Amino acid sequence: MFRNILARHGRTIGTAAIATTAGVTVASLLNEKDSFGRAASVASCDSPTVLSLLQEVSARLSNLEAMVGGVRAQTTGSRKKDGIDVVLGAQWGDEGKGKLVDILSQEYDVCARVAGGSNAGHTIVVNNKKYKFHLLPSGILNEKATCVIGNGVVVHLPSFLNELESLAGNGVNYEGRILLSDRAHLVFDFHQEVDGRNEARLGRHKIGTTKKGIGPAYASKISRNGLRVGDLQDWPTFERRFRSLCEQQMRAYDGLTIDIDAQLEYYKSIADRVGGFTVDTIAYTNAQFDAGKKILVEGANATMLDIDFGTYPFVTSSNPSVGSVLTGLGVSPRKLRSIYGTVKAYCTRVGEGPFPTELEMKEGSEGLHLSQVGAEYGTTTGRPRRCGWLDIPQMKYSAVINGFTCINLTKLDVLTGLPEVKIGKSYKVNGEILPFMPASLETLGKVEVEYEVLPGWTEDISTVNRFEDLPINCQNYVLRVQELIGVPIRWIGVGPNRLDVIDRGEGWEINAN
């Protein structure tokens, strides 16, 4: 027994091996403290060396617990009472994050965007009416929520103002409920033109950008010659820096022309209106947290489009994974509580880049079924999305990076009618299973996907509101996906409307392999 306890932390029974606790997490050590104490109390005098070692370990752990205070209570799986909750995309985008945000935001005081720009597209259906958002958080439909566009977002002000007009036209009152970070960088029309030029120059090697100017705007930010929303409130400085930026862009791109005076006239005309939305959102968000307000973050794009973690270079220009919450909103990681990964029940991708489980789109094919039944066309670009089976290696990779608390599984109803459904279970290269998502696109492009095949279902599930009432084959699919990813599936989307969602609730356990 004693040897097993020590072995779990890589120890052997010997003074040299037991002398350090390096390499062991504080949480795991504290969780074992009671076990060491109990073991020491029952150790017989037949093994005095083991007894002394266990007593020493127990004493060290008591000292460690005294130093770190409340760490143990927060690291044993219990959910923190207060904190910022985050909804993220776990695949290549278009997973249905906005729908969950719309539902959850009814219980939140603040809803925030933290990265990307108008390249994002979130669709909400309320009473058979579609609302499409690109810059604004989907929580804007909750009349009690204040919506924050954080410092990590890049903002094309004409698009921002157009979205406000669309809201007003649909009878949504947004007055006093939209806050725009003074530190958020601006996307200009010439950024969008440069984006299109760069894409055209790549020819058949194109990235598949939305041409919304996101990459060039972030490039200006990183080059330290970009302009921020708050700069509009200091007009002489804005005018000087805008002229300098335009001249730099025209020198860099042959044939690019910018009517600088006309652009300046436009921005001067909207400066006061934009100023009415502009605040220090870092100060605001942290003050709201300290006041006990509930905060929800709406991720844009998805993990596999992350500039660092995605299928580079076929990615976006920001970090849509969990790190963007901290850098794009200005909050401490200590303030995060739950991280909800949104996963489509199959997989889609817009634009170029590798897609291991991609299906053909020929007549009568499973891929065409997913495309047509799922209405798989980009909210921002209108381009048809590529469709494929759910990819478990990709999902596990996303879960590792983001540390999902639970999963929001969407569009399960789209699989209805297929005689069988497949799950991409593992990748093989040269007959060997890959243990982790490869960074190399060459490797990813030649993987052989091993599939697990499950029987499908034909019953309409769009009116089901309890997991137990789903067809048994449908239940088995959900449970198998949950088991393979290793993260609980809490929400299940069974139809396109706002409340076509099954909530399995909290406080239940899974056996994850």
Q: How confident is the model at residue 355 (pLDDT cuts 50, 70, 90)?
A: very high
This prediction's pTM: 0.79
Record the tokens describing residue 10, joined without a space.
Answer: 């890589």
Record the tokens describing residue 370, joined without a space.
Answer: 């997913």
Any binding-site annotation on 382? yes
Stretch among 131-145, 194-208, 302-316, 477-491 having the lowest mean pLDDT:
194-208
pLDDT over threshold 70, residue 314:
yes
Rounded distance, CA 303 to CA 321, Å? Answer: 5
Active-site annotation holds for 122: yes
Any binding-site annotation on 210? yes
Q: Which of 85, 94, 182, 500 is catalytic?
A: 94
Looking at residue 212, what is its pLDDT? 87
Q: Which of 185, 211, 212, 221 is catalytic?
A: 221
Active-site annotation holds for 156: no
Q: How far is CA 445 from CA 90, 308, 357, 452, in A?
A: 20, 18, 11, 20
Rounded distance, CA 268 to CA 271, Å? Answer: 5
Mapped onto helix, strand or coil, the DSSP state of residue 478 is: helix
Any binding-site annotation on 134? no
Any binding-site annotation on 430? no
Show the domains of the chain with their CATH numbers: 2-74 (no CATH), 84-174+280-503 (3.90.170.10), 186-272 (1.10.300.10)
pLDDT digits (tens, 9 = 90+) for 116-163: 998 766 677 777 777 888 899 888 988 889 999 999 999 999 999 999
pLDDT digits (tens, 9 = 90+) for 211-264: 788 999 999 999 999 999 999 999 999 999 999 999 999 999 999 999 999 999
pLDDT digits (tens, 9 = 90+) for 158-211: 999 999 999 999 889 999 999 999 999 999 999 999 988 877 777 776 776 777
Q: Which residues pair with 491 in a beta bridge?
A: 408, 503
Q: How confident is the model at residue 512 (pLDDT cuts 50, 70, 90)?
A: very low
**SS3 per residue for 300-330:** CCCHHHCCCCCCCCCCCCCCCCCHHHHHHHC
Q: Which of 85, 122, 134, 335 is catalytic?
A: 122
Alpha helices (runs of H) in 446-509, residue ranges in sequence order: 472-485
Rounded distance, CA 110 to CA 140, Å? Answer: 10
pLDDT digits (tens, 9 = 90+) for 34-56: 554 444 444 444 455 656 666 66
**What integer best gives the mean pLDDT of the chain?**
84
Looking at residue 415, what is its pLDDT? 98
Rounded distance, CA 169 to CA 132, Å? Answer: 13
Stretch among 103-112, 141-150, 377-386 having the lowest mean pLDDT:
377-386
Looking at residue 82, what is its pLDDT? 84
